[in-house]
Homo-oligomer: A and B are copies of this chain.
Amino acid sequence: MKKLKRVTSMDVAKEAGVSRATVSYILNDVQGVSIKETTKKKVIQAAKKLGYYPDSMAVALKTNKAMSIGIVSKRNISEQRYIKFLDGVKSAIGDNYSIILCSDHVDNFGYPEYYSYYKRKKIDGILFLSFQEHLAEEKIDDYLHMSVEENIPIVFADYHLNNQMVNCVDINYYHGAYMAASYLIKNGQKEIIYLTPDFDTEQEQQRRKGVEDAVNEHKGIKLIKTPISTDNDKEIEAVIKILSKKDEYSAIITSWSKMAYTVLYQAQQLNISIPDEISVIALAGSNFDVYTYPRLTTCNLPLFELGQKSAERLMNMLTDANTLPLNITLPCKLKERDSTKGI
């Protein structure tokens, strides 16, 4: 196999009869140097003719910029939501930056992958996407430390940090939950059962507060909070038990759509009519919501926007070191479908 030599800026320079510096100026469109149009044309021609591609590693070494950002998420990568986030990120970073997927798996160096990548300059900054289901508090402190003390450009996506020292883009779970509960109440539901996961995260606290506030604003609404195990079998068992006492309530709120799917499924099994007997609403949506029977009413999370805004923040930090940290909160949107009914 013939190993052909790489075309360098030197080659282009020779071909065009100029120096390497000129080539660099022209191809990078450097401000502050004015170059004759004819020279410009010549160089561009030569580059095209020779098939010149600047070596990004050499550029990176020189400029001290990898032109890549790392995305790290402890969340189950299988989650569809992760992908929507990615889409948003992609839309915001433009053609010049690339996305490197990193884990927080500890590597040979004894450091999490994202950290090593940064220290080794493979990435210029980091986007943390929270692991919704098991947000470990100790880790957060590490992250914060990195961001503040080590001055690593980091944006926290879907973290409710309330820390003015760091950039974070959050989803307004409180308001989403508030909207969902209010919607139910407006539709005449008086006894509401609220299925929450059996662990406590900032996110779930926000939701709980949202639901409670909505309930407290009205007289005579009864709210029953029921923690549900994340274990599949236990979840099913719990849902069946709850459905067997359907006379005690008229509506169900679930923190996640997955729980709502289970409710819908088991309701069918038990011949309980949704929404006639029970209204069901989930505080997070997914693509499948239109395929359940009946179609699931949800509070949609702005995942694309989450990715987009987070990436925008990161880009700002990267291009302007003096960017002030910002805490941004994104609203949810209620999507009414067939699992809830009006009065």
Q: Which residues of A contact B (CB under 8 A)?
A: 1, 51, 53-58, 60-61, 66, 68, 77-80, 82-84, 86-87, 90, 95, 98-103, 105, 107-109, 113, 116-117, 119-122, 151, 258, 261-262, 264-265, 268-269, 287-288, 291-293, 295, 321
Contacts and interface: CB of A to CB of B under 8 A. Distances in A.
A61 B53 contact: no
A58 B61 contact: yes
A61 B68 contact: no
Contacts of A119: 51, 53
Interface SS of chain A: mixed
B291 A265 contact: yes
Given A55-B121, A61-B58, A121-B55, A95 B108 contact: yes
A100 B102 contact: no
A296 to B, nearest CB: 10
Contacts of A1: 151, 321
Given A1-B321, A100-B99, A61 B66 contact: no
B68 A100 contact: yes
Contacts of A121: 53, 55-57
B86 A116 contact: no
Contact of A268 (B66, B99, B117, B293): B293
22 contacts: A1-B321, A53-B121, A56-B117, A57-B57, A57-B60, A57-B61, A58-B61, A60-B60, A68-B122, A78-B83, A80-B80, A80-B83, A86-B101, A90-B103, A95-B108, A95-B113, A98-B100, A98-B101, A98-B117, A261-B288, A265-B291, A269-B293
B78 A87 contact: yes
Given A1-B151, A79-B83, 17 more contacts: A53-B109, A54-B120, A55-B121, A56-B117, A56-B122, A57-B57, A57-B122, A68-B122, A77-B83, A78-B84, A95-B105, A98-B102, A98-B122, A99-B101, A264-B291, A268-B293, A288-B291
A293 B116 CA distance: 46
A39 B1 CA distance: 41
A224 B148 CA distance: 65
Contacts of A100: 68, 98-101
Nearest to A89: B101
